[in-house]
Amino acid sequence: MSGFIERLRKGYGKKLVSLHAWNGWIVVILALTGLILVGGFWRGFLGEGRVWIKWLHILVGIASILPVMYYLLLAGKHWKQLREKPWQRFNVLVVLGLLLGWFGSGVLLWQFRAVGPGVSNVALVIHDLLTWIGLPYIIYHSITRVKWLKEPKKRTVPSPQVAEDEIHPAGPQPLYTRRAFIRGAIGVGLGLTIGPSFLKWMGDSLGGFTGLGGSQSLDKLIENDSNELLPAPEPLPASAPPIGGGAAGQFRVYTVTPIPSFTNENWSFVVDGLVQQKLQWNWEQFVALKRTVQVSDFHCVTGWSVYNNTWEGITLKELLKLAGVKPKAQTVKLYSGDGVYTDTLTLEQADMDDVMVAVMHDGKPIPSDLGGPVRLVVPKMYAYKSVKWLNRIELIEGEHVGYWEARGYANDAWV
């Protein structure tokens, strides 16, 4: 082993430089793919490409541990070398902390199924937090490493100015050099551009995570509801106040299309296909259907959850009973009013008591951003089964491959 490390240490300076370059490129790829993955805009735009980008992010993320481990083998010597340079030592620790933190939380997110939603939730908060702190830090670090921005004295390759400094060593030192000023300006600029999104994320994600600031943003979604459907549904006593005590957590608004909006004129709900009797309701008829209330958790595969949702609606089971399923039917195909998104349940899955065609959340109409006026909730499965803007249920023979399943998500969505 020690012979191996000795060999590694030969040509150590060059190795450090190329490690640094490799690591830089890895961080660039992870940052770009990661930002695309969180950016809601890219969901619909990329479709299947998004799943490829996810795999690229995961693979490069796993590979990112290699330069870290390689560095750790050389770290002893490097650390001694930095004896006089506390800031560089600090920088090494920050970057190592970031890389290891991203790696660890990333592995947990990748293995969401093995670790379960509770662990994924924490991993996602850590992954995001490191990103919001780490990316600006690394961007600042790489910009200010550009040679021109370094004080001449600190350059490894001396410039003519150094000689000049040596000629007038006793000359008064300016408090701020021009370069220090520009570095400061870059720092402030980064802070101003990234700061607001960081604060918003803090409020949404951490607040939602701890159940503190979560409802504020939900209020905003309700305020911005672009649906106009009258009359508004009247909550049952179990819904208002919600027996679940109010949802804990923050929904991230996911959509692969522009958010659709509905009025009494263009909204209807249909159950058709292999049924004894095709059913169709307009809004006035649909809100008059007898509803029930359930409390359940909502888990997305990407690592976030919303706990204790009080949903009010009609169970899918009840709707299928009303229509009468023909013996030939095998699959329940669920259509979104966005015209694009679909998913399916087997008849057996659709028979679970907690699969609900929901009209209200925590005693209020579901806002358009969250899939209102009517969305599906399938609490025991990951939320890509919970079709938003649900407006048609078709009973079919054979199978259908849903939107995300066609793009690489697992057919098995059990939490």
Ligand X SMILES: Nc1nc2c(c(=O)[nH]1)N[C@H]1C(S)=C(S)[C@@H](COP(=O)(O)O)O[C@H]1N2
Q: Which does 374 bind (CB under 5 to 8 A by kind): Mo ion, ligand X, none?
A: none
290-329 footprint of Mo ion as x/- string (CB under 5 A)? ----------x-----------------------------
Beta carbon nearer to Mo ion, 275 or 300: 300
Ramachandran angles phi, psi of 181, nearest 5°: -60, -45
Beta carbon nearer to Mo ion, 109 or 229: 109
Distance in Å, CB of 310 to Mo ion, minimum: 21
Strands 356-361 and 364-365 come out as: antiparallel
Q: Which does 386 bind (CB under 5 to 8 A by kind): Mo ion, ligand X, none?
A: ligand X
Distance in Å, CB of 344 to ligand X, minimum: 13
Q: Which does 133 bind (CB under 5 to 8 A by kind): Mo ion, ligand X, none?
A: none
Distance in Å, CB of 371 to ligand X, minimum: 5
Can you tell me the distance from the alpha carbon of 228 to that of 262, in angstroms, rounded to the nearest whole number? 6
Q: Which does 109 bind (CB under 5 to 8 A by kind): ligand X, Mo ion, none?
A: none
Binding site for ligand X (CB under 6 A): 251-256, 300, 336, 338, 341, 370-371, 383-384, 386-389
Going from the C-alpha of 13 to that of each of 69, 78, 80, 82, 150, the distances in angstroms are 17, 9, 13, 13, 20
Beta carbon nearer to Mo ion, 268 or 302: 302
- Determine the size of the site formed for Mo ion (CB under 5 A): 3
Distance in Å, CB of 202 to ligand X, minimum: 19
Beta carbon nearer to ligand X, 162 or 206: 206
3-state DSSP assignment of residue 271:
strand
Q: Which does 251 bind (CB under 5 to 8 A by kind): Mo ion, ligand X, none?
A: ligand X
Element (H, E) at 340: none
86-115 footprint of Mo ion as x/- string (CB under 5 A)? ------------------------------
Distance in Å, CB of 336 to ligand X, minimum: 3
Residue 100 C-alpha from the chain's centroid: 20
Task: Name every residue whose Cβ is closer than 8 Å to that of residue 344 and which is 6 or more positions away in sequence.
Answer: 331, 332, 333, 334, 399, 400, 401, 402
Beta carbon nearer to ligand X, 329 or 387: 387
Distance in Å, CB of 34 to ligand X, minimum: 18
CA neighbor of 381 nearest in space, from 329, 331, 407, 346: 346
Strands 375-377 and 364-365 come out as: unpaired
Can you tell me the distance from the alpha carbon of 189 to that of 203, in angstroms, rounded to the nearest whole number? 22
Q: Where would I find the beta strands (DSSP E) of 323-415?
A: 331-336, 342-346, 356-361, 364-365, 375-377, 390-396
Q: Which does 140 bind (CB under 5 to 8 A by kind): ligand X, Mo ion, none?
A: none
Can you tell me the distance from the alpha carbon of 249 to that of 213, in angstroms, rounded to the nearest whole number? 9
Beta carbon nearer to ligand X, 371 or 379: 371
Beta carbon nearer to ligand X, 51 or 122: 51
Distance in Å, CB of 235 to ligand X, minimum: 19
Q: Exposed/middle/buried for 298, CB within 10 Å: 0-12, 13-18, 19+?
A: buried
Ramachandran angles phi, psi of 262, nearest 5°: -130, 155
Beta carbon nearer to ligand X, 106 or 405: 405
Q: Find the part of the chain contacting Mo ion (CB under 5 A) among 234-242, 277-285, 350-358, 379-387.
A: 379-387
Can you tell me the distance from the alpha carbon of 399 to that of 244, in angstroms, rounded to the nearest whole number? 35
Q: Where would I find the beta strands (DSSP E) of 197-300?
A: 248-249, 268-273, 279-282, 292-299
Beta carbon nearer to ligand X, 131 or 386: 386
The contact set with Mo ion (CB under 5 A) reads 300, 383-384
